[in-house]
Amino acid sequence: MSHKFFVWLCLLPLAVVTVAFFLLPMARLVVTGAEGPQGLAGYLAILTEPRYRATLINTVMLAAATTIVTLIVATIAGMFLQRHRFPGRAVLIAMLTFPLAFPGVVVGFLIILLAGRQGLIGDLSSRLFGERLVFAYSIYGLFLGYLYFSIPRVILTIMAAVQKLDVGLEEAARSLGASPWAVQRDVVMPALAPAFVASGAIAFATAMGAFGTAFTLATNIDVLPMLIYTEFTLAANFSTSAALSVGLGIITWFILAIARSFSGSAVAAAG
């Protein structure tokens, strides 16, 4: 048995799994998407049909907002947690990772407890202003839920990246006259860019595709996963839900690819 043959043999299980659980279902999904009354044009409907298009834009905006806010919050918090030692630090970090274990349903439940009809924010605002503030069942509630979901993941990645940061770089920049802001802008942020892309990609993809939270909060929030669900189970519209699924996958993948190439130079430089 030649060495090459042996290597191919070892790759066989991987090939089988890839074909059976990835390529075949994907191919079937793509084909199903084109089997509706409109044929291949069913895919175009994602962009031309106003309801689908609005949902798509909604979803991308929500995912983008979640990613940006998550990155801002997690960078500041992660940097502080990595750079400072204080009593209770270990407990705090452990607590931050707590939500990692929650499924979307639980996150949705927490949002309802916070901003729902009987929620904490509503109680507080009705006592203060005489008006009950309720936003759990809207896209804002969903946004809050996704933040809650994404921040722990991103914080952990950022903390690891901050730990690897050479403090000498910051000291060198300061010795050359850089203000604290300039140090962040010219040294720290470029060095953290790869971590931003990696953790931001996860936050974005999660927010694009997460379903449990949206489903718990309300069935009429206009995001793509909800739309796919309603088309699939309520309208039994297989071809449209397949087309939307493929569309969701491609759009997410495409935006992540852009982000990666956009920060490509920074990633290479931070080598």
Site of interaction with other proteins (CB under 8 A): 166, 168-169, 171-179, 182, 186-187, 190-191, 266, 269-271
Find, among 253, 222, 241, 226, the residue nearest to 50 by Cα: 222
Q: What is the DSSP letter of 36?
A: S
- Residue number, 61 or 176, with CB nearest to other proteins: 176
Find, among 110, 106, 158, 115, the residue nearest to 136 by Cα: 115
Q: Are 59 and 208 in contact (CB under 8 A)?
A: yes
- Residue number, 2 or 175, with CB nearest to other proteins: 175
In whole angstroms, how close is the CB of 162 to other proteins at the nearest point?
16
In the numeric block, the tokens 């070892």 are attached to 10
In whole angstroms, how close is the CB of 264 to other proteins at the nearest point?
12
- Residue number, 37 or 271, with CB nearest to other proteins: 271
* CB neighbour list of residue 249: distance below 8 Å, 6 or more residues apart: none
What is the C-alpha separation between 145 and 112, in angstroms, rounded? 10
Find, among 161, 201, 179, the residue nearest to 75 by Cα: 161
- Residue number, 26 or 269, with CB nearest to other proteins: 269
Distance of alpha carbon 105 from its chain centroid, rounded? Answer: 16
Q: Find the largest Cα–Cα distance for the chain.
A: 81
What is the C-alpha separation between 224 and 40, in angstroms, rounded? 20
What is the C-alpha separation between 106 and 66, in angstroms, rounded? 18
In whole angstroms, how close is the CB of 182 to other proteins at the nearest point?
6
Q: Are 244 and 225 in contact (CB under 8 A)?
A: no
In whole angstroms, how close is the CB of 265 to other proteins at the nearest point?
8
- Residue number, 195 or 224, with CB nearest to other proteins: 195
In whole angstroms, how close is the CB of 192 to other proteins at the nearest point?
11
- Residue number, 245 or 263, with CB nearest to other proteins: 263
